[in-house]
Amino acid sequence: MSSPDTDRWHIIEGQQVDLTGFNARGLILDIGGGGEGVIGRLFGNRVVAIDLHLSELEEAPAGPLKIVMDGRELKFVDDSFDTVTAFFSFLYIEASDQETVLREACRVLKPGGRIRIWDVVVPEIVLPGKDVFAVDVEARIPGQTIHTRYGVRWDGRHQDPSWFASLANSVGLLVEQKECFDGIFRVDLYKPAA
C-alpha cells in the first residue's frame, strides 16, 4: 500500500547493477560520490569523490578522498585522472548542465582514460499524477550488496544512453559501449590519445 508521500512517485523497482567485475585504472574521479559512495567502497583510497553537498560526503563510507566540489567547474589540472565515474549522478544534474559536467570530466581525464556512467532511463512523458521519478537499485560489489533509491522531480527531463553518446561526441569523447538493462543503462566513453 502506498503512502501519501509516494502516491505521486513513479518508481522503477528491482534494478540490479553488478560491479563485481568492474576494473578501473589508476586514480578515479567519482562525480557525485557522496551518499552510498558505491565507487568509493569499491576502490577505496584510489577514489576522489566529489559532491555538491557536504552532508552527502559525510554520509558516504570512509576510504576515498572526499571534496565538496561542483562538477561544472572541477578544480583539478588537465589530464589528472585515469578514470572518471558517475554512478546515478547525472540524474541529479540539470540537463542544461550535463554537457558542461561531461566537458570538465573530459578535461581532467588523461588521454586514453575512460569514463563510465551508470544511470536510469527517464522518459520525457510524465505519467498523470506523478511528479517524482525514482529507481530502486541493488548495487553488488565484492562482499557486499547496497540497496538504495534515487529519485528526482519528474519535470519533463529525459535521459537515455543515446543522449549521453550525443553529449560525449560534442565534448570530444568517443563511445566505447552503450548497454541498457530494463530501466537502467551504462555508457562507457574514452578520451582519445593525443
Q: Dump pLDDT digits (tens) for 98-155.
A: 999 999 999 999 999 999 999 999 988 778 888 899 999 999 999 999 999 999 988 8
Residues contacting residue 94 through CB under 8 Å, at least 6 positions apart? none
Q: Which set of grid coordinates corresponds to residue 93?
A: 544534474
Q: Dump pLDDT digits (tens) for 63-105.
A: 999 999 999 999 999 999 999 999 999 999 999 999 999 999 9
CATH class, 23-120+157-190 region: alpha beta
| pLDDT (mean) for 185-194 | 93
Task: Tell me which residue of 43, 139, 126, 120 sits closest to 83, measured CA to CA.
Answer: 43
Domain ranges across the chain: 23-120+157-190
Beta bridge partners of 187: 117, 178
CA 99, CA 131: separation in Å to the nearest integer? 25
* Prediction pTM value: 0.94
| In the block, residue with C-alpha cell 573530459 | 106
CB 149 within 8 A of CB 28: no
